[in-house]
Structure 1
């Protein structure tokens, strides 16, 4: 690590490649990042939906939660392992798959996800602050929560990792204590019998776990790109997989258990506070701190997406630290405006949007993983990725774009979301299996198109770190 990097508080890199001399950290940092990040109110509230919305019983709900996250976790882990090999953000890497301008659509969807998560979390942060300090008006509480996340996101990569190393022990211990408090208390008579297995609810829960993990994939390698390339593929894969799966499974399960431990119909976070007794107020404070820390990742990703979009049309431009701070402030202002005007059921609507975005994320994930691991096998020409004409990758890459559009279209007949319901969505009791159709079509289609059209220049592209 260079001296300048050691003495600079605010991260200086944005969409540019991290030079080998500035690489630092250990693979296990990815475990603490993704474990701590996912022990937060939003996954707890989402886990409560297994009981409150999908009406599953505890055992079938937990099975769907575990399987969904274990399957989706493979995607986030495979994406994370790409970061140390290339040293660039995930959305910038997409230029090597879709072409310089072809990647813009993916960047747009990624920015939409970041902003949605950011708004949802500042609404939750505001509600939590207001619950802890009732005399503080909710709008002011929302602004305070958003400002805290922005401050962390502005400082950047190293500070985010440091906070999550601490958060792993604090939040992991707090969640364990919460489980103990619930099961040591007096459970209602219908705790194990409330709800029942139903196919549509079970598959919806499974899909929710898969898309929860996939939704991180557009920016997961942003937090591994500083690791030395020598860490290889396996170590960052295992660290990310274990952290992301364990953190989300525990949080989803905690939400489901908490709402089962209180009278039916109780709000999820109110259920957590009520079910954990004396520990409840402390959990609320810890959850609040983790919301703010976690939300910094969403702001960080949103700013990188904006920078990537602008830099697409200005290849020689490298944004300064001041500009990154200014962009963070603009995102903060826009998000706070939306959060303050959000409806009471905004989070439920947002979860519906995330499920709908599965349609556009699955084809991108399929192309990203097939391209990196099977077509190019980790060998990208970094110089071409940053050239104005796209270098060997061009402005648009027809095989990727064709496979991407086909992957979206094949899902539409099977989609069952709050935005769109396909004609075949009800064949399995309303279960949404569109993501499976997308995977089965996009992966082989892109592989065939990409391998047939790959030029000799692209096949001989140097390893990313060689540029």
Structure 2
């Protein structure tokens, strides 16, 4: 890395290519990032659903949690391993699959998802701050949470990784202490027997784990793109895989254990505080800090997506640090206004809306992985990705766009979202199988279209010669 870059506190790259001379870091940084990020209230609350909603007992619940995240972790790890080879953000890379303008719709969807999670998390952070310090009014607490996350996101890549290296030891140790506190106390008589095995609950938990991991795909390589290309595929794959899987498995399991250790019907975070005794308040403070740290990733991704969208129409434009800070401030102001005007049930409604948008991510992630690993085998022309006319990738790639929209359509009959419920949404009661339909159709369809297109192009070139 150059001396000027080392002396710059705020990250000076946005969506541009990171040259080899500025690459730095180790694969283990990916382990700490994804491990620490996933030890937070949202995965703990989601893990509690295994008992409270899907009615599994401890043994079957833990088994389903482990299986779901171990399967889903493959997707996030494969996406993360692309970063060192490409040196560009994930959404920019999509131009190599969809064309310069064809990728724009996916980039906009990603921006909406980032902004949605950012708003939800600053509301959650504000409520946490207000709960810990009631003297701080809720509106002020929301703004404090938003400003803190924005400061981390603006400083950027290095600071985010540094915080999560620290967070791995702090949050990992806190979670371990929480488990010890729960199992060291008096457990309810039905702790091991509450719930039981049921096929729908077991499959629903597995699917939940897969979807959870898949949801990180649009921005996971944003945090590996500074690693040297010489690091290869294997090291970033396994570091991301074990970090993401271990962090989420522990958090989901902690949520399930906490609600089993308290009277049936206790709300998840209240159960955590109650079950861990004197450690409870400490955990609440640490979870608050992790919400803020994690939310910086949402702001960072939102700004990169907005920059990518603008640059689609301004090929030679590379935003300065000041522009990135200004965009962050605009996103912050808009999100704060929405958060301050939010209703009491805003988070549940908004998360439902955002999760519905995950329907558009499944075929995108499928196309991305098939294209990178099976078709182009990691060989992309970076100059074309940034060319105003799309270079060798063109403005639109009809093969990818066709497979993408068909991948969305086949999910709709199985979808069970806040926006749309398909006729087969409860084919297996409580199990969302839409992602599976999207994956099974999109992968072979895109592979056939893309390889056929390459064969035809090669044939035309041969005739021309």
TM-score by length of 1: 0.95
1:454 match: secondary structure? helix
Which stretch has the larger CA shift, 200-209 or 306-315?
200-209
2:111 match: secondary structure? helix
- Alignment match, 1:249: 249
Q: Write the deviation string for residues 115-158 of structure 1: whole angstroms up to 9, x where unpaired.
A: 12212221221121111111211121111111100000000000
Separation in 2, partners of 1:237, 1:33: 13
Which stretch has the larger CA shift, 293-302 or 336-345?
336-345
Separation in 1, partners of 2:362, 2:223: 21
Q: Residue 168 and residue 456 in structure 1: after superposition, are their counterparts in 2 closer, same or farther (change >3 A)?
A: farther
Runs of 4+ in 1 over 4 A off after TM superposition: 455-459
Separation in 2, partners of 1:188, 1:134: 32
Separation in 1, partners of 2:353, 2:65: 19
Q: Write the deviation string for residues 255-288 of structure 1: whole angstroms up to 9, x where unpaired.
A: 1111221122222222111111011111111111
Q: Write the deviation string for residues 53-76 of structure 1: whole angstroms up to 9, x where unpaired.
A: 333322222222111111111000
2:410 match: secondary structure? helix
1:165 to 2:169 alignment = no
Q: Write the deviation string for residues 83-135 of structure 1: whole angstroms up to 9, x where unpaired.
A: 00010000000000000011011111211221122122212211211111112
- Alignment match, 2:442: 442
Separation in 1, partners of 2:355, 2:393: 31
C-alpha deviation, 1:340, in angstroms: 2.1
2:88 match: secondary structure? coil
C-alpha deviation, 1:355, in angstroms: 4.0
Q: Residue 144 and residue 45 in structure 1: after superposition, are their counterparts in 2 closer, same or farther (change >3 A)?
A: same
Aligned counterparts, 1:126-205, within 5 A: 126-205=126-205
- In the alignment, is the contact (CA less than 8 A) between 1:274 and 1:280 conserved in 2? yes
Q: Write the deviation string for residues 387-441 of structure 1: whole angstroms up to 9, x where unpaired.
A: 1110110110000000001111111112222322211222222422111111111
C-alpha deviation, 1:457, in angstroms: 8.7
- Alignment match, 1:306: 306
Separation in 2, partners of 1:388, 1:233: 30
- In the alignment, is the contact (CA less than 8 A) between 2:125 and 2:291 conserved in 1? yes
- Alignment match, 1:289: 289
Aligned counterparts, 1:371-386, within 5 A: 371-386=371-386
2:158 match: secondary structure? helix
- In the alignment, is the contact (CA less than 8 A) between 1:188 and 1:261 conserved in 2? yes
- In the alignment, is the contact (CA less than 8 A) between 1:150 and 1:332 conserved in 2? yes
- Structure 1: any 5+ residue segments left out of the alignment? 460-467
C-alpha deviation, 1:161, in angstroms: 0.5
1:238 to 2:238 alignment = yes
- Alignment match, 1:109: 109
- In the alignment, is the contact (CA less than 8 A) between 2:72 and 2:210 conserved in 1? yes
- In the alignment, is the contact (CA less than 8 A) between 1:392 and 1:457 conserved in 2? no
- In the alignment, is the contact (CA less than 8 A) between 1:414 and 1:422 conserved in 2? yes
- Alignment match, 1:39: 39
Separation in 2, partners of 1:288, 1:406: 41
- Alignment match, 1:221: 221
Separation in 2, partners of 1:317, 1:47: 44
Separation in 2, partners of 1:60, 1:354: 29
Q: Write the deviation string for residues 365-408 of structure 1: whole angstroms up to 9, x where unpaired.
A: 11000000000000000101101110110110000000001111
- In the alignment, is the contact (CA less than 8 A) between 2:207 and 2:431 conserved in 1? no
Q: Residue 217 and residue 100 in structure 1: after superposition, are their counterparts in 2 closer, same or farther (change >3 A)?
A: same
- Alignment match, 2:463: none
Root-mean-square deviation (CA), in Å? 1.7
1:84 match: secondary structure? helix
Aligned counterparts, 1:424-435, within 5 A: 424-435=424-435
Separation in 2, partners of 1:74, 1:130: 38
Separation in 1, partners of 2:58, 2:417: 24
- Alignment match, 2:462: none
- Alignment match, 1:406: 406
- In the alignment, is the contact (CA less than 8 A) between 1:211 and 1:355 conserved in 2? no
Separation in 1, partners of 2:43, 2:424: 29
Aligned counterparts, 1:87-126, within 5 A: 87-126=87-126
- In the alignment, is the contact (CA less than 8 A) between 2:315 and 2:387 conserved in 1? yes
Q: Write the deviation string for residues 207-236 of structure 1: whole angstroms up to 9, x where unpaired.
A: 221111111110000000000000000000
- In the alignment, is the contact (CA less than 8 A) between 2:37 and 2:290 conserved in 1? yes
Separation in 1, partners of 2:356, 2:202: 17
1:380 match: secondary structure? coil
Separation in 2, partners of 1:354, 1:264: 29
